[in-house]
Structure 1
């Protein structure tokens, strides 16, 4: 048995070295490359691969202009080396033609307002606006830490959601920030892949003039319920009425065991 030990050791060392040499090494600090073009090898191969499919880009949210002539949509590109993602906004005439790219530094959740002359969207956590041709981009003030937004049909109001903390965790209650402890005496202390931190997704309504959000109001103040509901927090669960006087939203008004055992939600109206 001993006579085989040296060849085996040499083989393992050579195999390990060859594996290390083949592994691609990306220099630290290299910016992600969002390149959807096919390489010469990919074209010559003539085979659909997962890497080629990722280069198609992933379609996301869309919005039809008030006159029905143009649609906004988002495309998310992925750099497979760094696994970084970037979403940008495009527009396309509903009669056809070539798409027009409106953002290059990121943009998501586009919405028309100002009778189709302006576009609101999210960029790096900020609410931003731009003209319908992509010019005059600016950040809207008076709003932060939000997740979903929608501008009213008249364009003078906005609703948005953000997390509202209503109770303390065990660490906060006893001033033990480094302690790994949870005090659990009821459901739901965990939903899918996250622990409850006693914060809830609430809907806020506010005034909007195209530049600033003001006079925000939590329409679910004090409620230990959420809208949109977990786990997807889908923006389709909230909507303006056509005249902008009502907000319809879904919520599951249950706590504890009842919350854990039911998936039923109800629709509520806020005037």
Structure 2
């Protein structure tokens, strides 16, 4: 553990600082002014819990915390706010007078659609109705607690935070009720799920996403549909191969925009194929993509009030910025960017200025607002200012190198806190998950914790990462542990050659999820790393394909049914080469992880121990997958203390 003396004098980030980090997100501007609501994600060290605080900031500077939960939307006239409490109660908060009233109770199914599915609640544009997505739990048959009968493929749910680890048998449907209060009306029914709803501007229709194929558990494909709220007539609007996400109606009612991918093998996890903006007419005609030529992964789409442009975020070489695309000529231009990562944003009513969340290497996400048509930027929140004043965090320097096949690859190097170039320091290779995630100018707690502990940290976006075009993102397809592994090794060699203060004899490797897979893969390919820490990692792709909530990921990544590709899946499995491993390895894993089941950790652990490798397995009871932003604060601190202690034992202890 870190000594008291070190904690008192530390300039970098310590595990005892983790619960102080407050993460700001989900900004919603009032439709008639500058009133703003947003979330603050808080880690409570006393309660050993995490939760979101709904925070209301009025234009006069008055700030009110409405409680724990989720802000959904403003009323069209800006006089009230629609929100949901932690318990699922849908409520309306009026500004004048400041009161809250209960509307109804919303139920949530544990069935997992995909990462971009939105179980949202929205106010009709005419102000008369509230529409929301809720599960019909009351209509599902009670289960025998001693016997579990499984007759579907997506029978597992996302574990952790006390959530059930098995999906229930309810269906998620669209409900509507008067905003003034009254009884909810079920708009959709049957044996299909609906989610991700959006109102037409005339308040007559609701568009939504649904998978109504013959085998929705097996076929990861879905489409956009709409329902007439008065007749309950449902119309299918799209019929394309692939997945659709998050439809949003244009202000003039003529179009519906949504995110889409077109792969024949879809997955409820992240795909190699970048999401792009698709556009259809309100009647479902003239399907076309708007951003294919942009060649980057598109997220968070918002219509400009004019209806002529769509704003969105996209990652590009480590930065995530706001762009706009014209629906007429498909021209894309950057609206707000620079070094850093913009996650969410909203436009003011005139479509002139923005409110957005942004983080960079040394600052967790805060809210910012543009002024004077984007000429000026004002920071709205300073949730982390107090504790940051006590720290002097290191900056990460980006670099580019040519990989084995001349492909340009980007990485970052962060030195230890208070490093001296005349000294030598150990190096940790940190690998991201996905495999289609992206490192960049974002606040990563692991990097700063390791920097404070005396390590340099190198992190790289190998092929498979998004932000570098579709061809680069496709770089891992049917070849996990191939070119991506070689990219990582070439990047490590590059920084060692360029920075003589790094000690090539003192190196460790760690990663989470796919980064955990790659950590397992690396220790079966090379002995150059003196220690490894695998967090929520895969070890056997054959067994993963039959036990994971994301069994469709193997189909998407390897182009077919798992049973048709067992030889290839085994070839890409770290377990296949475990007899070559000698690296001391710490394996960290959540007990209720259904995304990468705990058995993946057990298979690697048992094999390494049988091999005689110094290995330890740590299971976090009740926790789900990965480096978990929702991880219980005490478990999160323990996980990071163990990671640092393992490297201190097996990396720093190596004689230089």
Alignment of 1:123-134 (within 5 A): 123-124=260-261, 125-134=275-284
Contact 2:195 2:208 in 1 (8 A): yes
Aligned equivalents of 1:241, 1:50: Cα separation in 2: 48
Alignment of 1:183-202 (within 5 A): 199-202=318-321
Alignment of 1:187-266 (within 5 A): 199-204=318-323, 206-208=324-326, 210-217=327-334, 219-221=336-338, 223=339, 225-228=340-343, 237-253=344-360, 255=362, 259=364, 265-266=365-366
Aligned to 2:368: 268
Number of equivalenced pairs: 174
Are the structure 2 counterparts of residues 248 and 75 from structure 1 closer, same or farther at C-alpha, using a change threshold of 3 Å?
Answer: same
Aligned equivalents of 2:259, 2:253: Cα separation in 1: 17
Normalising by structure 2, we get a TM-score of 0.24
Contact 1:57 1:78 in 2 (8 A): no
Give SS of 1:213's match: coil
Contact 2:290 2:325 in 1 (8 A): no
The reply on whether 1:117 has 2:254 as its aligned counterpart is yes
Give the C-alpha shift of residue 245 in structure 1: 1.0
Q: Of 306, 312, 316, which residue of structure 2 is paired with 1:164?
A: 316
Alignment of 1:48-197 (within 5 A): 51=151, 53=169, 56-76=191-211, 83-105=218-240, 106-113=243-250, 115-124=252-261, 125-140=275-290, 142-148=293-299, 149-165=301-317
Runs (5+) with no aligned partner, structure 2: 1-140, 144-148, 153-168, 172-190, 262-274, 375-656
Aligned equivalents of 1:139, 1:207: Cα separation in 2: 11
Instruction: Name whichever of 137-146 and 117-126 sits farther off.
Output: 137-146
Contact 1:131 1:137 in 2 (8 A): yes
Aligned equivalents of 1:213, 1:247: Cα separation in 2: 22
Give the C-alpha shift of residue 243 in structure 1: 1.6
Give the C-alpha shift of residue 212 in structure 1: 2.7
Are the structure 2 counterparts of residues 100 and 266 from structure 1 closer, same or farther at C-alpha, using a change threshold of 3 Å?
Answer: same
Contact 1:146 1:160 in 2 (8 A): no
Give the C-alpha shift of residue 131 in structure 1: 1.4
Aligned equivalents of 2:305, 2:331: Cα separation in 1: 18
Give the C-alpha shift of residue 216 in structure 1: 0.5
Aligned equivalents of 1:107, 1:75: Cα separation in 2: 9
Aligned equivalents of 1:81, 1:57: Cα separation in 2: 8
Contact 2:205 2:229 in 1 (8 A): yes
Give SS of 1:268's match: strand
Contact 2:201 2:251 in 1 (8 A): no
Give the C-alpha shift of residue 152 in structure 1: 0.5
Are the structure 2 counterparts of residues 69 and 143 from structure 1 closer, same or farther at C-alpha, using a change threshold of 3 Å?
Answer: farther
Are the structure 2 counterparts of residues 78 and 207 from structure 1 closer, same or farther at C-alpha, using a change threshold of 3 Å?
Answer: closer
Q: Deviations over 1:221-257 (max 9, x none)?
A: 2x1x2221xxxxxxxx3212122112211123452xx
Aligned equivalents of 2:352, 2:311: Cα separation in 1: 12
Give the C-alpha shift of residue 72 in structure 1: 0.9
Aligned equivalents of 2:361, 2:309: Cα separation in 1: 29
Ranked by relative contact order (alpha carbons within 8 Å, sequence separation 6 or more), the top structure is 2
Q: Deviations over 1:28-81 (max 9, x none)?
A: xxxxxxxxxxxxxxxxxx887654648844433221111211111112468879
Are the structure 2 counterparts of residues 121 and 240 from structure 1 closer, same or farther at C-alpha, using a change threshold of 3 Å?
Answer: same
Are the structure 2 counterparts of residues 254 and 80 from structure 1 closer, same or farther at C-alpha, using a change threshold of 3 Å?
Answer: same
Instruction: Name whichever of 77-86 and 132-141 sits farther off.
Output: 77-86
Let me know the Cα RMSD of the aligned residues: 3.1
Give the C-alpha shift of residue 154 in structure 1: 0.9
Aligned equivalents of 1:81, 1:62: Cα separation in 2: 19
Normalising by structure 1, we get a TM-score of 0.54
Contact 1:90 1:102 in 2 (8 A): yes
Are the structure 2 counterparts of residues 82 and 98 from structure 1 closer, same or farther at C-alpha, using a change threshold of 3 Å?
Answer: closer
